A and B are shown apart, each in its own frame.
Chain A
Amino acid sequence: MGKSIFQLHKKSFLTLVLAGVFVWSLFAVNWNGDLLHSGGFVTLGQMLGALFTPDLSSEILLIALESTWITVSYAVAGMMLAIIIAFFLGILASGIFFQNRFLKAIFRGILGFLRAIHELVWAWLFVASFGLSPYAAVFALALPFGGILGRIFADMLADVPKEPIQALKSTGASRWQLFFYGYFPIVRTGILSYTMYRFECGIRSSAIMSFVGLGGLGYQIQLSLDDLHYHEVWTFIFFLIAVVVLIDGWSSHLRNKMNHTTKHWFIPFSSLLTLVLLVGAWSYIYIVDRASFLELFSDKNLTYAKKFFSGMFGVGEENPAFFNWESWKTALSLTYDTLRMSVIAIGFATIVMFLTVLPAARNVANGKLTLTSRWYQWISFGIIRLSYIFSRAIPELVWAMAIIFILKPGILPGALALALHNFGILGKLCAEVVEDLDNRPIRHLASAGASKAQILIYGVLPSVLPQFLTYILYRWEVIMRTTIIVGFVGAGGLGQQFKLSMSFFHYTDITLLLLCYLILVWISDYISEWARKTARY
């Protein structure tokens, strides 16, 4: 009996548990103490004041244009390698070529490892072992993005309906023929649209690569913030937003056109644009950056890489951190803080998302869903959608850098930075869910005289909640990976210690912190997958 009650109310239980976890995590912050710096508000005022007067001198604009191009070219080059990685590993991990379960698990494991580590951590490791080279940025992007894309490719290939494949097989097609004429055409559109979506993320990641010393928009933002030139900071941020919005527009337009059966000029145009971008990006890296690929594997680099990695494994060190109980204790307490930081972050992002998601849905704004239409609905729709774009176009790291000027160091600034970036993403995803709602039941409620709040609780929530939960849990996984990044600039948790250890060349401490980080990422992936399954059935 007990079990069946649980089965019946599984989703409500899950929601309750998640809400409980969020409340628990809030206790990690000492809310009684002054959270703001004594001058936090003053600094906030200065920053916001500069928002409306960005520095538009030609000198700054030129720098902004150049760094935008560097950012785009690293992203393009990184994505290309990511696609190659994803293509091969994805096929191997999908199990379409061989049914060996063991091999499949190995390749899935490799993909999982690649994406478990955040691109900035990869970048840091590459710079430390191979030196400052554009390839450090390109590879650092390629590995985790390859891991993510590869996993999606593998899932898509595994889900291909068996009948057409069977038909081809019976005509005696070879494995490669099966792949190119059977599997590939079926998954092509899906793969392409997901890749385009990832490209937009790649731009943001490429922008923050500069925090390990590789050029680009992030580098300029950091320099200007260091000199407290907020006017310049906004100029660079606006450029970043512009690129993200352009690519977002490109990708959604392309996805739209690909779903039509009729041919459209936009598709060949996109291919051409991709080609131009690729040629431009690689030639920039080869010619202007003068980055030689071969030099990466020179004896010198191999020696240093070996030195770096033997340092990390504690070769020759008397008391490596990972064999030291005291170090473990510190690291585990930081891990615990980091976990709470991630929960606070997703909690805040979710709350703000719930408050804004209805006015942000097109079908609410035009009154189709609720059968009421007011002139101000379009205005609030516009403002909220704009805030979504603003929120997600700015990388977490940049939010964190600004927030530590305002809030005291600790886990709250980190959590807020993560929340600020993610509420825009969550909002956009969830608003789209509302837009795709079956609007008949809700109209019924509205015509029966239900208020806005009643419509939300009885009409909208029940039908969108499972999908919302999936997105929230999925973003939580991403946030978990990113917690380490916001720590780099002093926003608490594992990342802060990671940065300090890097600065002091305490390599075995780095290994220990990475270990804790990986454990955290794996645990969160596991919990999230379990919870998503519970929400679905």
Chain B
Amino acid sequence: MKKLLSISLILLVMFGLVACSGEDEKATEESKPKEVFKIGAIPDQNAADLNRSMDQIADYLAEKTDLEVEYVPSVDYAALVTAFERGEIHLAWFGGLTSVQAMSLVDGSEAIAQRPRDEEFHSVFIAQKGLNLKGIEDIKGLSFTFGSESSTSGHLMPRYYLMENGIDPEKDFDGEPNYSGSHDKTYKLVEAGTFQTGALNEAVWEGAVEEGLVDLNKVDVFYTTPSYYDYNWTINTVDDVFGKGTKDKVKEALLSMGADQQEMLDIFETDKFIETKNENYAAIEKVAKQLGIIK
């Protein structure tokens, strides 16, 4: 019986090898399937909601552009940037920093659309209500959480304004700052009492307040940063893959979203998208370089 066991083991190994090589042949024989236009978004808030809305947007883009469009979820910011660099994502909803990273990695990629609010974006600093914080200086000595380390409104700009106000995030908090991973999680952690203070994206915060997702008796805003450019749709060099004019078609489709698409726009806390350009993000790039995040 032991012999049977070892023979079957050897067979299994052989099967695996054969299966591998068999697959190779198949892959070469198959005619190349129609290229799918893949879209992605940084996972900066509730993943379930984001997946649902992005699937709808994929359907909408497919209808408008006659392309086969698919949404590819990703677990962290850097993974999406890498996929974009590799041309596996053709259109991505990036934050300011990730779009700057993407634009520097892919020549010819372009920021094409953003929300009206992204021209004047803010981060909010929140704290537990009982602490009675008045200004950003009061944050010293308390525990603090950023969002994702790759987030503009959850890390880059809050860090920048902390340092502008003479606070060293690595030294002046109670313990090292945490990186929660997403804006949702930041306010939930502060609300739950896990951290005393945190910084997040203003749009997500306002959405949470509007929908009653956050208990204002427990946590509130005590400081809002000056404005900066943030989120945008960055498009890859798609004209090379899908034919000339694809970029314009996609851009047109995004810019023409309106009341009929309100359901899918809700996740972005907006009612339309407007035009933008790469130059708008020069300031973010400068800050990122200053903080040593981009070299």
Contacts and interface: CB of A to CB of B under 8 A. Distances in A.
Q: Do A and B bind each other?
A: yes
A300 B185 contact: no
A127 B188 CA distance: 31
Given A271-B8, A504-B294, A34 B24 contact: no
Interface in B87-144: 87-88, 101, 105, 128, 143
Contact of A222 (B75, B77, B83): B75
A275 interface: yes
A80 interface: yes
Interface stretch (A108-116, A287-295, A448-456): A287-295
A294 B23 CA distance: 8
B150 A503 contact: yes
A293 B28 CA distance: 11
Given A39-B194, A132-B79, A282-B16, A300 B86 contact: yes
B27 A295 contact: yes
A304 B106 CA distance: 12
B107 to A, nearest CB: 13
Contacts of B47: 223, 226-227
Q: In the complex, which of the residues A213, A278, A304 has the most CB atoms of chain B within 10 Å of its own CB atom?
A: A213
Contacts of A360: none
A304 B85 contact: yes
Contacts of A226: 43, 46-47, 181-182, 184-185
A293 B192 contact: no
A211 interface: yes
A212 interface: yes
Interface stretch (A375-383, A403-411, A463-471): A403-411
B5 A271 contact: yes
Interface in B1-23: 1-2, 4-6, 8-9, 11-13, 15-17, 19-20, 23
Given A39-B194, A271-B5, A128 B75 contact: no
Contact of B178 (A42, A184, A409): A409
B143 to A, nearest CB: 6
A34 B13 contact: no
B255 interface: no
Contacts of B12: 80, 274-275, 278
A317 B149 CA distance: 23
Contacts of B81: 505
A128 B12 CA distance: 31
A295 B17 CA distance: 17
Contacts of A84: 13, 16-17
A188 B192 contact: no
A43 interface: yes
Contacts of B143: 37-38, 408
Contacts of A227: 46-48, 184-185
Nearest to A34: B174
B23 A490 contact: no
Interface in A234-273: 258, 263-264, 267-268, 270-271
A527 interface: no
A213 B79 contact: yes
B83 A408 contact: no
B6 A228 contact: no
Interface in A187-219: 188-189, 192, 210-213, 219
B4 A268 contact: yes
Contacts of B192: 39, 42-43, 46, 228
A286 interface: yes
Majority secondary structure of chain A interface residues (helix, strand, loop or mixed):
helix
Contacts of B294: 504
Interface in B169-191: 174-179, 181-182, 184-185, 188-189
Interface in B51-102: 74-79, 81-83, 85-88, 101
Q: In the complex, which of the residues B5, B27, B28, B81 has the most CB atoms of chain A within 10 Å of its own CB atom?
A: B5
Given A274-B12, A405-B189, A38 B196 contact: yes
A293 B2 contact: no
A258 B4 CA distance: 13
B194 A43 contact: yes
B268 to A, nearest CB: 18
Contact of A505 (B9, B20, B78): B78
B195 interface: yes
A54 interface: no
A295 B88 CA distance: 13
B82 A293 contact: no
Contacts of B23: 286, 292-294
A81 B12 CA distance: 11
Contacts of B128: 38
Q: In the complex, which of the residues A87, A127, A505 has the most CB atoms of chain B within 10 Å of its own CB atom?
A: A505
Given A127-B79, A300-B86, A43 B193 contact: yes
A505 B103 CA distance: 13
Contacts of B195: 37-39
Interface in B134-170: 143, 148-150
Contacts of B176: 408-410
Nearest to A44: B194
Nearest to A218: B75
A500 interface: yes
A444 interface: no
B295 interface: yes
A304 B9 CA distance: 37
Contacts of B189: 228, 405
A475 interface: no
Contact of A268 (B1, B24, B174, B181): B1
Interface string A2-45: 00000000000000000000000000000001100111101100
Nearest to B294: A504
A506 interface: yes
What are the 7 A-B residue pairs with the smallest beta carbon separation, nearest first?
A: A39-B193, A408-B175, A271-B8, A263-B1, A503-B78, A292-B27, A294-B27
6 contacts: A213-B74, A226-B182, A227-B184, A228-B189, A293-B23, A304-B86
